Amino acid sequence: MSRNRPITDRRAEPARSRDSARPIIRLLGACLVLAMATGPFGCATTGGRGNALVPTRYQVRTGPFLLFSNSPIPADSPAVRCLHALETDLTECLGYQNRPDQDPVEIYVLDDRAAYAHFLKFYYPELPPRRAFFLSQGDRRVVYTYLSDRLEEDLRHESTHALARGYYGDLPLWLDEGLAEYFEARPDPDGRDEHLRKLPGDLRSGWVPDLARLEGLSDIHEMTPRDYREAWAWVHLMLDGEASDRTILLDYLNAARGGGRRPSFASTLAARGTTGRSLIAHIESVQARAVARGSEAAPASSGKDRTVRMQDRSLEPPTVRVTGPVRQGFFKRLGSWLGF
């Protein structure tokens, strides 16, 4: 694989030569592409700028992460610090430990939204647009995202997927997403505003928590924004509720890491009396604490409304975990161009 010989834009070819030499051009193009490209690293260009679609010019290592970018990311930048904090949070909350025998999690931070959209269109046209995604193939763990004002949030979410998969193996969909939602921000016993703002409305509309139903979901496209909120709520209950609930979660994760039998979460929690009603009571308790905390934090002499930024994930397609071959999208496009 050569990373220094990008394919030039085919639109620059003289029009008069295309029809007469098309079979030869396709054959030579196929040979060139197959010789140069084994993945999304330097075989295509972004528009006329001549830059590789995936940045590899600069890199910085922090713990189990290796960040790649087109411009330097300082070792003390918020992006690097948030990843270091994530590893610490997982260690303190879940007992996570970095495995020195594993390759680092590769994180590719593209320049901007346009470059990222072009990358997705070229290599993963089958995926819906979203700000970031985690991809795994065998032991390789990769995160793709781009520079934005929510970079740290996206890095923490996707990197939680990467670390959890590397340490615990393949987790059930709801738990994988619930953990990523929980650790997307620094752990807060009073919960996250975006979920607390919406869960009471879910309850008023007749929603009833059902962990057994959530456990039955296996396709990311089956999960609704409400399912993401419920997954977060169950994880929040187990990590910030009763100590016995935390023990159930840790025992499950350790069993997954050891390849042991993993019983149903719903049945395990129900056996000790933790049900959907318990989750509702926990949500109401957390919301009450959050409201009290907000009232205490509001300046008594201020007549202005307090502004809080609340992320609304429902306005965007949900995070998608891709576990298929890394090059699948690329070779599909190659075969289509060659007429196969």
Predicted confidence (pLDDT) per residue in 24-58, tens digit: 444 444 333 333 334 554 333 333 344 578 899 99
3-state class (DSSP) for residue 247: helix
CA–CA separation, 148 and 73 (whole Å): 13
Alpha carbon of 286 to those of 36, 197, 241, 289, 291: distances in Å?
54, 11, 10, 5, 9
Q: Which residue has the higher pLDDT, 248 or 242?
A: 248
Which residue do the tokens 């499950």 mark?
Answer: 252
**91: its two tokens:** 């260690």
pLDDT in the model for residue 172:
94
Asked if pLDDT for residue 325 goes beyond 60, the answer is no
Residue 125 has pLDDT above 70, yes or no: yes
More confident residue, 36 or 161: 161
The separation between the first and the last C-alpha atoms of the chain, rounded to the nearest angstrom, is 23
Single-letter amino acid code for the residue at 158: E
> CA angle, 176 as apex, 260 and 220 as ends, to 5°?
120
Cβ pair 179, 235 in contact under 8 A: yes
Q: Is the dihedral of CA 262, 265, 271, 274 positive or negative?
A: positive
Q: What average pLDDT score do residues 78-92 get?
A: 96
- pLDDT confidence of 242, banded at 50, 70, 90? confident
Q: For residue 256, what pLDDT is reported?
A: 85
Contact between 262 and 252 (Cβ < 8 Å): yes
